[in-house]
Structure 1
Amino acid sequence: MAYEPGTAECRVLIRSKEQIETMLLELSKLDGTDVLLQQLRQVHNQLEALHDLRRAS
């Protein structure tokens, strides 16, 4: 069963993480994007932390 977000905030965070995941996949195909990929992973991790806080509340 797919995860069903409970709040509008959770939906925003989920969509944002999904968009970053798509960017990571696409950019990983290009040379010279290592630093950018690392930054995007950090942003994804920050969004995940925010989402964890929302889920816990």
Structure 2
Amino acid sequence: MSSEAGSTQCRGLIEAKENLLKAMNSLGSIENLDHIQKTLRDVYNELEQLHESRRIKESNNLN
């Protein structure tokens, strides 16, 4: 897992995003999985938004 300061929630989001990237890479060479790739990408983007919200919230708590 990437090293990044933050809460347990942020670390969980980072790990989930990394696992989705691995899944997308593993499936990338298999034909006719575009719909699955899109779904995984959508989930990744949603997790990224949640992670950004957590980063902002935690940053505001430090100030």
Tell me the TM-score range normalised by the shorter chain: over 0.9
**Superposition CA RMSD, Å:** 1.1
Alpha-carbon separation, structure 2, partners of 1:6 and 1:19: 18
Residue in 2 that maps onto 1:54: 54
Where has structure 1 moved over 4 Å in runs of 4 or more?
none
Q: Give unmatched runs, 5+ long, in structure 2.
A: 58-63
Q: Note the C-alpha offset of 1:29.
A: 1.0
Give TM-score scaled by structure 1 length.
0.92
Q: Which amino acid aligns with 1:35?
A: H
User: How many residues are aligned here?
Assistant: 56
Q: How does 1:1-20 map to 2 (within 5 A)?
A: 3-20=3-20
Whether 2:21 is the aligned partner of 1:21: answer yes
Query: Which structure has the larger Rg over C-alpha atoms?
Result: 2
Alpha-carbon separation, structure 2, partners of 1:14 and 1:5: 11
Give TM-score scaled by structure 2 length.
0.84
Q: Which amino acid aligns with 1:28?
A: G
Percent of aligned positions that are identical: 36
Whether 2:37 is the aligned partner of 1:32: answer no
Q: Note the C-alpha offset of 1:5.
A: 3.0
